Structure 1
Amino acid sequence: MARKHSKHGRYEDLQDSGADEAEAAPVPCWLCGRPTGKTIVWHHPVPKSRGGREVVPMHPICQNTLIANFTNSELQRHAMDVDALLANPNVRKFVDWVAKKDPDFTATTAKKQR
């Protein structure tokens, strides 16, 4: 059963201490390297269905591009190797295109033709 009160202090105290962390520099996207915006997706480079546990920060549009261009087994083979993912011409073209965009930019992503 859940506790009514935390043994570490009041909730308001935790909110005040997080203000310094919000002013820190944004983390870079794992795929494109641009700073992340307001929305950060924590992506599993190796899918959870394939035993992946590690997560990396990404833009939602970058994650959608990976999902559209690779199957889970392909992502498992590439694992944490960004260079191998960027070797795909569709992904490289996307990263070059999105490099000039705002961190919070969103657009529809084309599906891979199989």
Structure 2
Amino acid sequence: MAKRRAKNDPYWDVEDEAEAPPPEPCWLCERPLGSEVVAHHPVPKSRGGRDTVRLHPICHQALHNNFTNAELARIAMDLDALRRNDGVAKFLTWVEGKDPDFYVPTAKKGR
């Protein structure tokens, strides 16, 4: 059980930087992950995929708006191929400076 600190402790608001690990980056956009995290199967489960990667919800939605499951199964873990897609490249440029917890619904692309 963690030890409680008294409010009169001189180190009450000092955080130990050695304890805090660096924030994990999003697999697609490489921004730090926020409070909401989605597990994405690079090879869809319907195509036999088991491995998962961690993404922002908006990044996950952008992937599925730009690729079908069959396309994702072919590309799998090739991040360069995913990022070269015009829609994903445009999305990554747009989302680059946003807060890790930023989310807006993105419109589905007509196929």
TM-score under structure 1 length normalisation: 0.79
The residue identity in structure 1 corresponding to 2:59 is C
CA distance in 1, matches of 2:35, 2:22: 12
Summarize the alignment of residues 85-104 of structure 1 with structure 2, pairs less than 5 Å apart.
85-104=82-101
Tell me the percent identity.
Answer: 59
TM-score under structure 2 length normalisation: 0.81
Give the deviation of 1:24 after TM superposition.
2.2
Say yes or no: does 1:63 pair with 2:65. Answer: no
Give the deviation of 1:23 after TM superposition.
3.4
Say yes or no: does 1:36 pair with 2:33. Answer: yes
Q: How many residues matched?
A: 96
Give the deviation of 1:96 after TM superposition.
0.7
Q: What is aligned with 2:48? A: 51
1:30-66 Cα distance to aligned partner (Å, 9 max, x none): 1000000001111101100001011001000000001
- Which consecutive unaligned segments of at least 5 residues does structure 1 have? 1-12, 17-21
Asked which structure has the greater CA Rg, the reply is 2
Secondary structure of the residue that 2:59 maps to in structure 1? helix
Give the deviation of 1:110 after TM superposition.
1.6
Q: What is aligned with 1:108? A: 105
CA distance in 2, matches of 1:78, 1:106: 25
